[in-house]
């Protein structure tokens, strides 16, 4: 941080330091730009984490709530067929209660993998909560 007096002394044409001031300001700008870029990267990572499920890697309900209306509009506009399927793992609560949440997480991971392995390129899946997948 430069105080105002030092700034004007460095900027003065009477001193040999105007170039030093420009160099110092350029370094400060580069440093600020680097910080801004890092913040943008972190924000994108946080947004991605907020929108995707850690177990299955599928987008979460928030993503679906934001995206599904656009998908519906596109299909209505183009008159292309659209299928929306909702899956529910029967008696999933019994798995969690009887074998623990780690076992329930394992079931979700395996079901997620099974769903992902059977999606066509234009298909997508999302986890909307609990054991439900769309």
Query: What is the rounded distance in angstroms from the CA atom of residue 93 to the CA atom of residue 130?
Result: 9
Helix (H, G, I), strand (E, B) or coil at 87: strand
Active site residue 4: no
Catalytic residue among 4, 5, 131, 132: 131
Query: What is the rounded distance in angstroms from the CA atom of residue 50 to the CA atom of residue 80?
Result: 31
Phi then psi for residue 127, to 5 deg, are: -100, 120
How would DSSP label each residue in 17-79? -HHHHHHHHHHHHHHHHHHHHHHHHHHHHHHHHHHB-TTT--BBHHHHHHHHHHHHHHHHHHT
Helix (H) or strand (E) run with residue 7 in it = helix 4-11
Beta pairing class for 132-133 and 87-88 = antiparallel
Show which residues are catalytic.
131
């Amino acid at each position: 941080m430069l105080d105002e007096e030092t700034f004007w002394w460095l900027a003065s044409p009477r001193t040999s330091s105007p170039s030093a001031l420009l160099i110092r300001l350029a370094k400060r700008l580069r440093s600020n730009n680097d910080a801004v870029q890092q913040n943008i990267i972190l924000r994108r990572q946080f947004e991605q984490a907020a929108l995707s499920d850690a177990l299955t890697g599928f987008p979460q309900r928030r993503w679906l709530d934001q995206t599904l209306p656009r998908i519906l509009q596109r299909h209505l506009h183009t008159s292309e067929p659209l299928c929306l399927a909702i899956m529910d793992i029967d008696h999933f609560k019994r798995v969690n209660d009887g074998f623990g949440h780690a076992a329930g997480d394992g079931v979700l991971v395996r079901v997620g993998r099974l769903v992902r392995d059977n999606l066509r390129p234009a298909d997508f899946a999302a986890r909307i909560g609990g054991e439900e997948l769309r």
